[in-house]
Amino acid sequence: MVKSELIRATIEGLGYELIDTEWGSGGVLRVFIDIKNGQAGQSVQVVDCEKVTHQLQTVLEVEEVEYRQLEVSSPGLDRPLRSAQDLNRFCGCFVEIVLKSTPALANEPNLQRKYFGRLGKIEATTDKWTLELLENKILLKKKRKISKWEPFKDPKFIEFSWLDLDKAKLAEDRFVG
């Protein structure tokens, strides 16, 4: 069995989802996990990482997979969204997306490929999503620039499908206000 398949099977057997693996220098194996079929508010806890670590150590030893150090963690606040199911799971959350090409937006002179906003679903039966765009307001507080994301006065949306996406990831929402 290939290493990545072995790791995936072990993690999924424990009820988690494998997000990514990285083989770092010096034999470091990094494994990023998430709660399988979890809701947007659920996150990986330390006990989850411990459980996966113990099981992976055993399996990797039995299968004679060489590594020097094993690190298991959550994908973090900027979790990559790698499937249509991920987009459905994180509807209502703030995301950053990069499209393969610029969308056709009415009255929008500065077309771009990278956007930040709140993810929404058009209809449950379609594979189309919306992104309510947020504008970046720069505020000066005590001679420091602070970035604050806010909805536009006249809401702006883009519509896209999974095939339109180049990359997507969760984005922190603490600056929205």
Mean pLDDT of the chain: 84
Flag whether the pTM goes above 0.85: no
Q: Which of 107-116, 122-131, 132-141: highest mean pLDDT?
A: 122-131
- Sequence spans of domains, the chain: 3-73, 84-170
Give the per-residue SS3 of 109-120. Answer: CCCCCEEEEEEE
Residue 54 has pLDDT above 60, yes or no: yes
Contacts of 110 (CB under 8 A, 6+ apart): none
The CATH number fitting domain 3-73, selected from 3.30.300.70, 3.40.605.10, 1.10.150.170, 3.40.50.1980: 3.30.300.70
The CATH number of 84-170 is 2.30.30
